[in-house]
Structure formats: structure tokens, C-alpha cells
Amino acid sequence: MKQKLFLPILLIAVLFSACKKESTNDKQSEHSDSVIAVIHGSDSTTTAKTTIDWEGEYKGILPCEDCDGMEISLTLNFDYTFSQSISYIGKGGPYESQGNFEWGGSENIIVLKFEDGSQAKYLVSEEMITLLDENGERQGDEYVLRK
């Protein structure tokens, strides 16, 4: 009699444990799929414009051909305006300018548009911006302004 009861109880226990494991695996699989979807979704839309705290004041001393350096203070505002102050070390200044800026095609580059019609391009990174040449190429590590 004990053997007759033992076998059905064992069979029921095995069935419940098998069902429980399967549902746990299903939940883990569903969770993994949603995590993968979130990761892929965020990678495709990552830009400096949307992920970096770019608003604020950047300062630095950049190279100058006919002076000891250009001391620059550049403030980027959330409304896409900017103000800039440049002092030419050993020559004079500060010279103040302002204008608007827009994000370039890659949304990692900003284009400053000065009131006199001239432009300057900067690559936006975490806590710094890098002045680019007229072709939008990096000039070197010495062309960096830091927050």
C-alpha cells in the first residue's frame, strides 16, 4: 500500500518541479530579450546632443600663431545661443562675441554662427569641446576647452 501511494506522490512532485523550472526559464528568457531590446534601442540614438550635459562654460588656452596663446571662455546656453571671450596672451583683449549655434549632422558637432557671419565648429565630448578645422577635422589635443 505504501508503495502504491509513494509512486503517484513522487510523480506529482516531479511534475510540479519540472513545470516550475520551465516557467522560470521562460521568465528569464523574456527578461533577457527585453534587456537586449533596450540596449540596442539606446545605442542607435546616442549622441552628444541627447546624452551629454553640454550646456555651460568651457575654458582653455589654445595655440596662436602670432601670440603666446588664446585664452578662451565659451558659454553654451540651452536656447542654442553662446557668448565667447578671447584674450590674446601678450597682445590684448578680451574680445567679446556672441551668436547662435546649431548641431551638425552627426549631432556630436556644434557650429557656432557669429554675428559677423563667420563660423567655428566644435566636437562635443563629456566635460570638454574640441575646436575643429574648417573641414571639420580634429587639429590636436591642444585645441580643447574644458568645463
Q: Spell out the domain ranges in the chain.
A: 1-45, 48-146
Cβ-contact 104, 111 below 8 angstroms: yes
Say which residues have a Cβ less than 8 Å from residue 82's Cβ, sequence separation at least 6.
Answer: 74, 75, 76, 98, 99, 100, 101, 112
Q: What distance in Å separates the CA atoms of residue 125 and residue 127, rounded to the nearest whole number?
A: 6
Which pLDDT score is estimated for 50?
76
What's at 138, amino acid-wise?
A: R
Whether the full predicted model's pTM is greater than 0.75, yes or no, is no
Q: What is the pLDDT along the chain (147 residues), one digit of tens a residue?
A: 544 544 445 444 444 444 544 444 454 444 444 333 333 333 445 677 777 889 999 999 999 999 999 999 999 999 999 999 999 999 988 999 999 999 987 779 999 999 999 999 999 999 999 999 988 899 989 999 999
Q: What distance in Å separates the CA atoms of residue 145 and residue 124, rounded to the nearest whole number?
A: 10
Select from 3.40.50.720, 1.10.510.10, 2.40.50.1070, 2.40.128.640 the CATH code of 48-146: 2.40.128.640
What ranges in the chain are assigned the alpha helix state H?
2-43, 48-51
Which pLDDT score is estimated for 145?
98
What ranges in 44-110 are assigned the alpha helix state H?
48-51
